[in-house]
Amino acid sequence: MSSPANELPNAAAEAPASTSFGKRKSVPTNFNNGYLRNYFLDQAYDEMFDSDGEVRPHYRLLLETFRCLPQEELARRKHSADISFRTQGITFTVYGNQEGTERIFPYDMLPRIITGAEWDRIERGLIQRITALNLFLDDVYNDGKILRDGFVPREIVYSCPHFRREMRGLQVPRNVYIAVTGTDLLRLNDGAFVVLEDNLRVPSGVSYMLTSRRVMKRAFPQTFRSYEVRPIEHYPQVLLGALRSLAPEGRPEPTIVLLTPGVYNSAYFEHTYLARQMGIELVEGRDLVIHDNIVYMRTTAGLKRVDVIYRRVDDDFIDPLAFHGDSILGVAGLFNAYRSGNVTLANAFGTGLADDKALYAYVPAIIRYYLKEDPILPNVETFLMTDPVQRQHAFENLESLVVKAVGESGGYGMLIGAHSTKEQRAEFRNLIEANPRNYIAQPTLSFSRSPCLMGGGNDPSIEPRHVDLRPYIIYGDKVTVVPGGLTRVALRKGSLVVNSSQGGGSKDTWVLHA
């Protein structure tokens, strides 16, 4: 479970994959020199080359652009991009690293390109999914019909550490529990996208999406224009509009703030960036005070009422009177003000229930129950350790499965069977037996690779690396999916984990109009 002290830019992003990819194929002979000298293909889906080793049509211009760049010019543009990230302070924090915790966010110069047709399906699938999850939260915290009808077991809901009994019967503005979501997707060998997990509590990483786009437009302006990429720069204003729409009744000009755990938080750059882009105040818990169940912000001109809080602090730490009594990050009495309807929090308390890894297995059933539709974006097959039959199956196949703790994030608390030792598998078996509710298992996945610029300025080459995709969904008056998202990259050769804390980075995501 993530806490305000370690909200990583890539929170909840573990991307296990199969290590058995079969025989490598060669890239086309007219490209297997120069920057592509180290490129390889195998059975994993390649974003740039098709199964016959031919360049996909939407990557041809990009590849030609890089092929025609002299090494010195490519190094100059890479250096310029690095300086831009450094001067903007685009960083993330790695905890427990003796060399220092603050690092420039790793960034790859080659964008990932998604066609318009592919994106249209992703967008429809995400809107469907978030709509159903929001209906689920509203139902569970009020009527509980889906539980009575047996489509989701009560024990899965009530045993979730993120289920908040305090939210029972509490009406949230517009019945919107999930204002901001970051859903992690993988592309499998057949080219189809699947949902790896949903991030509904305090999803992070959007600032890296926005700053990456800004850097790419400066580094390759002509190529960017030629591709007619769908814009993402409007994200802060769309978010601001959604937050305004969720303000309490009778507050036509609401005061909105972004609540951060503070400067030592790993995503503090993002908090300051988004607050600046939206033109709202960035506050810590000590900047807010509650009086008569109304939230006020301390200013040099005196107290000012606050109507909407975009929070980047987990439930457990946001109000010491309602949750963790020893927290110094939140505001005493905030939950009572929220329950009184005098302030809106985005996301609502208790939304973590819907991104619990065990509940994830029931999302397809949740979609069918509320929307009477089949899921557009499928789940990864998931085995619940609370089920004796599924648990035994997992024990018999640990070498080919990935085991995850339901409350962990950032690639921690997991076992990748194909990379594990006999001792590690025995340890996880004991952990599962001691607390089956805390674990799920999934098959190892061969997920897609994207071309990346490796080697720095001395000896650059284009090589394939595993990637996932985190699009951002905003729910206000309507559901809006920003065209693109954060493509995260396992930059270490052979790595399957995309987290920045474990050697990963990001790249710009170009969604085309056609």
Alpha-carbon distance of 10 to 21, in angstroms, equals: 26
Domain positions in the chain are 383-443
| pLDDT for position 419 | 85
φ, ψ at 159 (rounded to 5°): -90, -5
Low-confidence ranges of the chain (pLDDT < 50): 1-23, 29-30, 100
Q: Hey, is 59 helix, strand or coil?
A: helix
Amino acid occupying residue 261? P
| pLDDT for position 27 | 55
Beta strands in 247-361, from DSSP E residues, in sequence order: 256-259, 281-283, 288-291, 294-299, 302-305, 308-311, 344-346
Q: Would you identify the CATH topology of the domain 383-443? A: Dna Ligase; domain 1 (3.30.1490)
| pLDDT for position 6 | 31
**Can you state the percent helix, strand and coil of the chain, rounding each to 5?**
35, 25, 40
Amino acid occupying residue 85? F
Residue 140 per-residue DSSP state = H
pLDDT one-digit tens code per residue, 334-371: 999 999 999 999 999 999 999 999 999 999 999 999 99
Q: Taking a C-beta distance cutoff of 8 angstroms, is the pair 198, 471 a contact?
A: no
- H-type alpha helices, 246-299: 268-278
- 398 to 21, 356, 404, 418, 422: CA distances (angstroms): 19, 22, 12, 8, 10
